[in-house]
Amino acid sequence: MDAPKKLPFYMTQGKAFHETKVLDQRFLLISFVDKSELRKDALIKLFDKLESTSSIPVAFAFETLSDFQRKNLIEANIPFVAASSIFYLPFLGIAYRKRKYTASPKPLEDGEVLPKLTSAAQAFFLFMMYKVKDSQISKSEAARKNGLTPMSVSRYCKELSDRGLIQEFKVGNTVQIRCSESGRALFDKALPYLDSPVKKEIILLPSKAFDKLPKARESALSQVTMLAPPKTEVAACGPHAALAKGKGIDKESDGFFNDNYVELQVWKYDPQPLMRNNRIDTVSLYMSLKDSPNERVQASLKEMLDKEQW
């Protein structure tokens, strides 16, 4: 069959689309010609786009998969078929691996923790922590408020519930979700699974567009602690922002240091929905600076967490 019309060309190139039926359930199966496209982030992006454009469930087909690739796909809750030996089709309740698959997951050993959250699931966790707090919300309402598909929300909820960060329960015909803890207790519980949101950093000349972005790094930390503000202003944006697509300025350019400049963090998710008082949110700020070797920064991070109105 032809690729969905709403998909951009670069997402359809090198792929074959098949409408498949198993146990009376129709779904769209996409096979790959180019193995270089098996990167986790690219597959998640493609899967989310396909979900939003297809009226039936979506799954990927691969000739072969390494154990690492299979593990990444399952952690991201992306349906797939690999040759005839591995099936992961959660919309049918099917998960099978020839010889090696067991229905019950292997229990964690002492001291072992699950992998860190995907960046999309981390953004959804922050929505739950900051916006839902001690209340509860239906999955469908959470999807609407975040501009997500119901299947994406289900995938993120699985990541969070597997790590004990949220709870799911039914109220009538709806599935409700709520945080398992509140405030600082929730942050401490989530910390092993959180990661820095920063994808890259670039240097720019000041602009009105930059001024509208939430302050980040030491620029943000100085607003809530006794840390002195940095000489160079730092702000953050999401991966799809216009400024994120620029190449920035080469520091070695002649005369560069005679000009003012600013630094831009490009994040894996958009920081603006979580922005407060013209700065990035506290949890993301902590994760972006927690590995800083600067002792004053580390002391200020502790001060910020202690003062935070969770």
* Cα four-point dihedral sign 292, 298, 300, 302: positive
For residue 274, give the DSSP letter. G
Span 66-102, pLDDT tens digits: 777 777 788 888 888 876 567 788 777 766 555 443 3
| pTM, 2 dp | 0.64
The amino acid at residue 4 is: P
Please report which confidence band the pLDDT of residue 283 belongs to, taking 50, 70 and 90 as the band edges.
Answer: very high
Residue boundaries of the structural domains of the chain:
9-97, 119-193, 198-307
Do residues 261 and 249 touch, judged by C-beta distance below 8 A? yes
H or E segment to which residue 44 belongs: helix 40-53
Span 200-237, pLDDT tens digits: 999 999 999 999 999 999 999 999 999 999 999 999 99
Q: Where are the beta strands (DSSP E) in 104-212?
A: 137-138, 166-171, 174-179, 198-204
> Measuring CA to CA, which residue among 201, 195, 159 is closest to residue 177?
159
For residue 160, is pLDDT > 90? yes
Distance (Å, whole) CA 287 – CA 274: 14
Give the least confident one: 1-15, 37-51, 65-79, 106-120: 1-15
Predicted pLDDT at 271: 97
Tokens coding 171: 């109220």
Distance (Å, whole) CA 213 – CA 264: 9
Output the CA–CA distances (angstroms, integers) from residue 193 to 57, 77, 82, 119, 309, in the order listed.
Answer: 29, 17, 29, 10, 22
Rg of the chain on CA atoms, in Å: 22
Predicted pLDDT at 84: 56
Domain 119-193: top CATH class: mainly alpha
